[in-house]
A and B are shown apart, each in its own frame.
Chain A
Amino acid sequence: MNQTLILTQPAVRGKAATFEELVQKHYRQAYNIAYRISGSATDAEDLTQEALIRAYQSFERYQPELPFANWLYRIIANLHVDELRRRGRARVESIDACEAFADIPDYTSDPADRVLSRELDGTLQQALDALSPDFRTAVTLCDIEGLSYEEIADIMRCSLGTVRSRVHRGRKQMRKLLGVP
């Protein structure tokens, strides 16, 4: 498709410029969410791109009372669930099967250690991957993105009580996987 032709048409140029602005503003945070809940860089890119496009195309459905980023996260979460259903498998693994987790060192003693940080990131991501999709999404939105329970409930379309339960059980499972004392 002739990109130059598209971008020079006034009716379309406005749309392209607006979409690019949308992407530039939100892609990093959206990618972070997508990466944490999908566990894969490739899946995260695909998830983020598709979510951005759908958010732009379905903008008439956006409700202003919800922050746009949260609405975008909702789309990402829904797309991820749809993708899991399409693949016909869940990401839930038995906690007992996660034998690769070693006791993590006391991270707080040397927070500037980059090597330790990278290893820890990988270990934490493995533990996240072992959670069920709902627990993983709830923990990611709460502890990584810092959203409130009410915002998480809006994104995941569930009650506050359900959010509270998912966050708590997700953290407990990760603590057990990682052997956090």
Chain B
Amino acid sequence: MNCGRVSNQLSAYIDRELTGAEMLTIRRHLGDCDDCQAEYEALCRMKMLLGRLQSPSPGPDFVPATLRRWEGHAPAYAGIAAGSQWWTFLVGSLVDAWDRTVAIWLCQPAWAAGRFSLGAWRRPVVLATAALAAALVMTGVMLHQPRHADALIATSPLAVLEGQDPLNGPSNSEWVSLSQPGLSSPLSQPAGSQPALGWVNVSLHGDTFGSYR
């Protein structure tokens, strides 16, 4: 092996990144060539100097500063009531998803090149998403309240009194529902009442919502 080829492989030889056969060949050449041996020793010295460099330490505020900087990248949860955790989670998740989508799919190439600042878009994106999330949540809350009798029957345990004439039945306060504890029978009637045939009242906690025949 000539000196040119050996010289190009000296660093890999020092770092033990050659095959066994190559290592042996170079070792033999170094034993016979003073110039290559001198270059080998110089490169070893260079590697040693670099390896003994003191590791620098960042300032004492580095970790807190990093966390603060990360918060700047985190979803905008500020302003949400601390007690509404599910509400906070929903809004935060929507904002986070939107933020990530914009950052990754639309802005990353420019962001990586440093030509685009996501911060300029953050406020309007966050506000728009928060408004959308609020509208969705309010709609869900409203829809959760059953308005139709069918839905009421399907979702709530009720007392269905057969044969009771809704027009001439007892007052609302005397109806009971299955949700009350101690009820032994699924059907209970107000004291002293005689149900009329063919009518069924649907009520919940004393409020009658409709009559069915």
Contacts and interface: CB of A to CB of B under 8 A. Distances in A.
A27 B58 CA distance: 9
Interface string A108-142: 10010000011011001100000000000001001
Given A9-B77, A32-B56, A53-B73, A171 B46 contact: yes
Contact of A86 (B43, B76, B115): B115
Given A11-B92, A83-B114, A53 B52 contact: no
Interface centre among A9, A117, A160 (most CB of B within 10 A): A9
Interface residues of A, number: 66
Contacts of B82: 5, 8-9
Contacts of A171: 11, 43, 46-47
A162 interface: no
Contacts of B70: 16, 19, 52-53, 56
Interface string B46-90: 111111111111110011011111111111111010100100110
Contacts of A94: none
A95 interface: no
Interface in A77-128: 78, 82-83, 85-86, 104, 107-108, 111, 117-118, 120-121, 124-125
A24 interface: yes
Q: What is the interface of chain B mostly: helix, strand, loop, or mixed?
A: helix
Contacts of A157: none
A107 B52 contact: yes
Nearest to B55: A32
Interface string B7-22: 0111110010100000
Interface in A123-181: 124-125, 139, 142-144, 146, 148-149, 160, 164-165, 167-168, 171-172, 174-175, 178, 180-181
A178 B62 CA distance: 32
Interface of A: 1-3, 5-6, 8-12, 15-16, 19-20, 23-24, 27-28, 31-32, 35-36, 41, 44-45, 48-50, 52-53, 56-57, 78, 82-83, 85-86, 104, 107-108, 111, 117-118, 120-121, 124-125, 139, 142-144, 146, 148-149, 160, 164-165, 167-168, 171-172, 174-175, 178, 180-181
